[in-house]
Amino acid sequence: MTEDSRFFAFLKDRIGLDVASVGEAIIERALRQRRMVVKAIDHADYWQLLQRSAEEQQALIEAVIVPETWFFRYPESFATLGKLATARLTHLNGARPLRILSLPCSTGEEPYSIAMALFDAGLQAQQFKIEAVDISPLSLQRARRGVYGKNSFRGDQLSFRERYFIPVEDGYRVEDRVRERVSFQAGNMLDPTLPVAQSAYDFVFCRNLLIYFDVDTQRRGFEVLKRMTHNDGVLFIGPAEGSLLGRMGMTSIGIAQSFAFRHQGEADTEPLTVIAASPAAAPLPVEPPPASKKPAPVPPARSPGGVRFLPTSQPATRSAAPALPATGEAAALLDSIKKLANEGKSADAKLACEQYLKRYEPVAPVFYWLGLLSEVGGDVIGAQGFYRKALYLEPQHPEALAQLAAILAAQGDSAGARRLQERAARGVNKEGRNR
Alpha helices in 343-413 (DSSP H): 346-359, 364-376, 380-393, 398-410
pLDDT for position 235 = 95
What would the DSSP string read from start to end of 221-271? HHHHHHHHEEEEEEEE--GGGHHHHGGGTEEE-S-TT--EEEETT-TT-HH
Determine the 3-state secondary structure of 190 from DSSP: coil
Region label for 29, one of left (φ > 0), alpha (ψ between -120 and 50) or beta (otherwise): alpha
pLDDT at 284: 33
Query: What are the backbone angles phi and psi of residue 292, rounded to the nearest 5°?
Result: -75, -15
Residue of 262, 310, 335 lying closest to 413 (CA atoms):
310
| Residue-level pLDDT at 295 | 37
Instruction: Decide: helix, strand or coil at residue 406.
Output: helix
Phi, psi angle pair for 130, to nearest 5°? -115, 130
> 129, 114 in Cβ contact below 8 A?
no
Task: Give the residue among 344, 384, 346, 347 at the shortest CA–CA distance from 367.
Answer: 384
pLDDT in tens, the chain (435 residues): 456 788 988 888 888 787 776 667 778 888 988 999 999 888 899 999 999 998 898 888 888 876 678 999 888 899 999 999 999 999 999 999 999 999 999 999 999 999 999 999 999 999 999 999 998 888 999 999 999 999 899 888 899 999 999 999 989 999 999 999 999 999 888 888 888 877 889 999 998 887 778 778 888 888 889 889 998 899 998 876 776 666 667 788 888 778 899 887 654 444 443 333 333 333 333 333 333 333 333 333 333 333 222 222 333 333 333 444 556 888 889 988 988 887 778 888 899 998 898 888 888 899 999 988 888 777 877 888 888 888 878 888 888 888 888 787 766 677 777 788 777 776 655 555 554
- Would you report the helix, strand and coil content of the chain in percent, each value rounded to 5? 55, 10, 35
User: How do 98-102 and 128-134 pair as beta strands?
Assistant: parallel
Nearest by Cα to 253 from 240, 239, 236, 241: 236
CA distance 364 to 111: 34
Strand partners, 87: none
The model scores a pTM over 0.85: no
